[in-house]
Amino acid sequence: MEVDPRLYSRGGIITERDPERCIIRLRIPAGMATPEQLIGIGKIARTYGDGRVHLTVRQTIEIPGVDPNRIVPMLVALKDNGTPLGSERQEIVNVTACMGTDHCKYANIDSLALAKEIDTKFFGKELPVKMRIAISACPNGCASERMNEIGITGVRQPYRDHDACTGCGTCEKYCRERAIIIKRGAVDLDTNRCMECGICVLPCPFEVLKASEPRFRITVGGRRGRHPKVGRELITVSDPEKVLEIVGKIIKWVYELASSDELLPEQLDELGFSEFKQTIRDQYEEVRNWPPEQDEESDLL
């Protein structure tokens, strides 16, 4: 069966060192697949590839050793399996995420559900540059989200019942950033050190240390590769619907202004990132009203 040459414009088909063979990269949002899908991928790899699969760093699977003349029936089989062709070029590629609140005790947000929503809405959209999107449910950064073109981090700010807190120091012991200091029995938070991970809340023996509702911190312009770079903070918002809106605005901004000559992190200044950041913040009133007011008996650390 003759291969439509347009298929090679999709980043999911990669020519190997041996030009007579190619690698097929799959679309598996957040790296989550069912046992049945994995069994199906194994059978497809045996039928169309060299019998092996490769697990990528972006939570998807590649099948190497594929004869280009068999790509079309293979793609049909992959689609029927629920693991269709992925992407890897100037487009939005496989969305990655940690395990989130369904599974991790440190998680602040449902990263898996958000990854699925972002994938459904934006995957494969053509852009002047490659766009990687990653989500970590807390600042531990298990998905390396801040080293992606768009990163989303789940954060929570600690607060306490001022009258009930004994200043026992448990939260100070567990703070990984040394942001909490006990001074004469009172808890003091160094906001410059605090990453708003919420981990200090978990060990409080009297449950007087609480955390704000989870929020979503969005960064832009991160990168792995030979010259790694941490993304710049854009905005922090309170719900996933706003995250979807803002991700859409970032994508539109990049689509309209970015050049294909450089990776996105290298273009941020000439694209006017500072002005774009101010525009986004002006559109979301809550940014100017953070942190929220707590009950009278509680205060932010």
Are both 151 and 167 inside the same structural domain? no
Please report the pLDDT score of residue 10 as a whole number.
65
pLDDT digits (tens, 9 = 90+) for 45-57: 999 999 999 999 9
Range of the domain at 55: 5-80
Please say if the pLDDT value at position 88 is more than 50.
yes
CA distance 118 to 194: 28
Are both 120 and 48 inside the same structural domain? no
Are both 131 and 265 inside the same structural domain? yes
Q: Do the strands 150-155 and 215-220 form a parallel or antiparallel pair, or are they unpaired?
A: antiparallel
Q: What percent of the chain has pLDDT over 90?
A: 74
Please say if the pLDDT value at position 137 is more than 70.
yes
Residue range 71-92: mean pLDDT, rounded: 94
pLDDT band at 296 (very low <50, low <70, confident <90, very high): very low
Please say if the pLDDT value at position 292 is more than 70.
no
How close are the terminal C-alpha atoms of the chain, in Å?
66
Task: Please state which of the ranges 1-15, 171-185, 205-219 shows the lowest mean pLDDT.
Answer: 1-15
pLDDT band at 301 (very low <50, low <70, confident <90, very high): low
Please report the pLDDT score of residue 182 as a whole number.
87
Are both 235 and 143 inside the same structural domain? yes
- Contact yes or no for 260/296 (Cβ under 8 A): no
Q: Is residue 296 part of a domain?
A: no
**pTM, 2 dp:** 0.90
Are both 173 and 48 inside the same structural domain? no
Are both 113 and 44 inside the same structural domain? no
Residue range 236-254: mean pLDDT, rounded: 97
Are both 31 and 151 inside the same structural domain? no
Residue range 91-110: mean pLDDT, rounded: 96
Q: Which two tokens stand for residue 89?
A: 């070029």
For 190-219, b/e burial (b = at least 16 CB within 10 A) is eeeebbbbbbbbeebeeebbbbbebbbbbb
Are both 139 and 268 inside the same structural domain? yes
